[in-house]
Amino acid sequence: MKRSWNGLIWAGFAVILLAAFSFLWLIRFPATRDFPWVNLLLFAAGALLLAAGLRRAFRQPERYRGKVSGTILGLLSVAIFGLFYYGTFVLAADIPSASGAPRTGTQAPDFTLPDAAGRPVALSDLLKKDRAVLLIFYRGYW
Amino acid sequence: MNEFRARGVEIAAISIDSNQESRTLCASQGYTFPFLSDPKAEVIRRYGVLHPHAGEDGGDIARPAEFLVDAAGTIRWENLTKNIRVRARPEAVLKALDDLLPPRASLEIKLASRALDF
């Protein structure tokens, strides 16, 4: 009897790839960026598909293929999830605590820095013009 | 953005990027608020938000952080995230703003009604 192609394994791996790469797009939206729940759900769905495919590859080897390919894709999936988790939860959280930052109620240190056109801008000048200023420090390299 | 302006609040972004890089960024994103360059991370250091050796070339950069400074120069609100993925959302900042500084519109209504009483 000819053994049939084990589509569940490949579908599962495709969902795992989608789970990892869709974050590049979902990162634009705060609701899916602050906590990557869509990606984690996709990873879970991919893992279930892969598990079902592997299960039938090993339980019914006479009917389904995929013992070797399923194992390889399964290991790859674990590695992809590991990298995703490391990037979004470990590496992204690896920043200094900013314990020396001025807190609410204290005076904001004044400064003068050049703007994009090279003109010097002082915090005190901005405060004269407006009721308040929101200072946003960002990492750069956009 | 306009909601900040409507409240009389200016935004100023600070990073180690050069003027040139900020110009490119503003042009591509259509940002109209000032982008200030702090290539030596002096102001970043003064605000305690330095992330040493985290830059592409191993240089010092800023960790993400937001401070709301009132006209008297006092910090009224700050957000020091624990994960670079998670930033202050504009709604959250606007809410903090409205709690701290009454919206200008209501102030003007108050002044106008006082003027009428007179």
> What secondary structure, in 3-state letters, does chain A show?
CCCECCHHHHHHHHHHHHHHHCHHHHCCCHHHHCCCHHHHHHHHHHHHHHHHHHHHHHHCCCCECCHHHHHHHHHHHHHHHHHHHHHHHHHCCCCCCCCCCCCCCCECCCCEEECCCCCEEEHHHHHHHCCEEEEEECCCCC
Does the pLDDT at position A45 exceed 70? yes
Q: Residue A81 above 90 pLDDT?
A: yes
Query: Are the C-beta atoms of residues A93 and A32 closer than 8 Å to each other?
Result: no
Nearest to A142 by CA among B45, B17, B87: B17
Residues A16-41: what's their mean pLDDT? 92
CB contact under 8 A, A134 and B67: yes
Mean pLDDT, rounded, for A89-106: 87
pLDDT at B96: 80
Q: A133–B12: do the CB atoms touch at under 8 Å?
A: yes
Segments of chain B scoring below 70 in pLDDT: 1, 102-118
Mutation to test the A interface, candidates B78, B95, B106, most A Cβ within 10 Å: B78
| Average of per-residue pLDDT values in chain A | 92
Give which of B69, B47, B49 is closest to B60, Cα–Cα.
B49
User: Bigger pLDDT: A134 or B98?
Assistant: A134
Give me the residue spans of the domains in chain B. 2-117
Task: Search chain A and give the residue with CA nearest B76.
Answer: A104
ipTM over cut 0.85: no
For A114-124, the pLDDT digits (tens) are 999 889 999 99
For residue A23, list chain B residues with Cβ-Cβ distance below 8 A.
none
Q: Which CATH architecture has domain B2-117?
A: 3-Layer(aba) Sandwich (3.40)
Interchain pair A109, B48: CB under 8 A: no
**What is the mean predicted confidence (pLDDT) over A9-36?**
92
Strands B35-37 and B9-15, by their bridges, are parallel
